[in-house]
Amino acid sequence: MKSEKVSKLCDSIKNSQPMDKNILSKFIAAVATRDVEISAAESWLKAVHKYGISPQDTIALTNQMMNSGSVLTWKENSHLVVDKHSTGGVGDKMSLMLAPALAACGLKVPMLAGRGLGHTGGTIDKLESIPGFNCDLSPQQMQSIVQEIGCCIAAQNDSIAPADGLLYAIRDVTNTIDSIPLITASIISKKAAEGLHSLVLDVKCGTAAFMKTEQDATELAKSMVAVANGLGIKCKAQITAMDNPIGSHIGNSLEVIESIDVLKGKGHLDTRNLVILQGSALLLMSGVVGSSTEGEALIGQVLDDGSALTKFHEMCLQQGVNDEIAHQLCQDPLSVLPLSGQKIDIISQHSGYVNSIDSMALAEIARKHGAGRFSIEDTIIPEVGFIIKKHIGEKIESGQCWMEFYHSRQPTDDEIKQLSRSITVSKDIIDKQSRLIVVVD
């Protein structure tokens, strides 16, 4: 594509005028086929980042990006096709439980997920700690697995919204990641390509989230909801607190262990409650239940009666895990999942009630031990992570272990110091706050 055409788009953006939709469509098609000068794409991204674009242009851009690759179509019961997207948190393992739980309720979940980059882990890295689990599915494979069992979780690839792959890579090197229209188009184009009827967005907000303030999280949530609605998808955003880690386990293998516990009707309530919150919203939006209370009860039921775990087992089999491993995984996850043999107990220096746990400090140290990536080529070490033994609001004594650190090498004195300081203990009983801050719809 000629760079002059892209310059025309940039001029419109600078002058706050609508982009020519014909040129926009050709530009995005050229990005998808890599038939565009990188410098022209950089200029366009910088213009969008600097000047912003209107909600209408964001819808048009997202639509073009969605159509730059395969779009799944669902002939029967398309109103039952749903998904969730989270902007990423520490210990955020919801997808592993939500997809099978919703499938157990009769919904269809063709979930695309990412690998982790930054301080938060990726769903795909977590699943890949299961021996044999294959996340590289074609759109046809996704469709047939979902038709057969109701859910799958696949890695984003260049069959779906390929324009996003190049734009995201250029955004990374041009410092244009933090643009609301670009984030919106990137996330919603991939979700829309799943052929969704309903989408729940979990927009994290707090010290360990991409969006630090409620105001920024709300702005992103409103943009994503408006664009999803503009593409005909029912959408709701739940803004949730991301200061303290979610649940009890953090790290790739460890988060699978906690998820299986929750799928058995056990596990940490913080995690279970988030699954119920997101799941009930989708059940209500797709018309399977008539109220949130009914939705909450139904998700609780499939977690408690084993049907969500059965779906998880079926998903493992469909995605390449052999019979014996899948069976053992669901019975006794530790017998098949890697967990580091090197463990250090982190001890409380104070007595009182756990007031806060600094997720960011935990995530950064786990990342240095291989639980996350610094660059896309880095290999994940699945056996690294934390098990939190004392949670927000719980009573703790000085000298008691509040967290186990499963590490890949001997932690430095500085790392141990940082981990010890990552908990605050209060003399007074703490009021436990709900994760949900506000719903945007």
Residues forming contacts to ligand URA in the complex (CB under 6 A) are 168, 183, 186-187
* Closest to 271 measured CA to CA, from 110, 435, 129: 435
Q: Identify the burial level of 278 via C-beta atoms within 10 angstroms of its C-beta, where 0-12 means exposed, 13-18 middle and 19 or more buried.
A: buried
The yes-or-no answer on residue 186 being catalytic is: yes
Q: Which of 171, 249, 268, 435 is catalytic?
A: 171
Which CB, 172 or 345, lies closer to ligand URA? Answer: 172
In angstroms, rounded to a whole number, what is the distance separating the alpha carbons of residues 185 and 305?
39
User: In the block, which residue shows the tokens 């209107």?
Assistant: 54
Assess contact for 15 and 47: CB atoms under 8 A.
no
Residue with nearest beta carbon to ligand URA: 186
Buried/exposed code over 69-97 (b: 16+ C-beta within 10 A; e: otherwise): bbebebeeeeebbbbbbbbbbbbbbbbbb
CB of residue 171 to ligand URA, shortest distance in Å: 7
Active-site residue flag, 427: no
| 113 versus 274: smaller Cβ distance to ligand URA | 113
CB nearer to ligand URA: give 205 or 384: 205
- Give the nearest distance from C-beta 192 to ligand URA in angstroms: 13
Taking the complex as a whole, how short is the minimal distance between the CB of residue 210 and ligand URA, in angstroms?
A: 7
CA distances from 12 to 6, 8, 176 (A): 10, 6, 19
State in angstroms the smallest separation of the CB of 249 from ligand URA: 23
CA distance 218 to 439: 9
171 noted as active-site residue: yes
> Is 435 considered catalytic here?
no
Which residue's CB is nearer to ligand URA, number 61 or number 187? 187
The one catalytic residue in 43, 70, 179, 186 is 186
CB of 255 to ligand URA, least distance (A): 19
Catalytic residue among 57, 92, 125, 164: 164
> Which residue, 218 or 318, is less far from ligand URA as judged by CB?
218
Minimum distance, C-beta of residue 183 to ligand URA, in the bound complex (Å): 4
| Closest to ligand URA by CB, 205 or 346 | 205
Q: Between 130 and 217, whose beta carbon lies closer to ligand URA?
A: 217
- We find the least distance from the C-beta atom of residue 134 to ligand URA, in angstroms, to be 21
The Cα–Cα gap between 129 and 340 comes to 13
Active-site entry in 190, 249, 373, 407:
190
Active site residues: 85, 164, 171, 186, 190
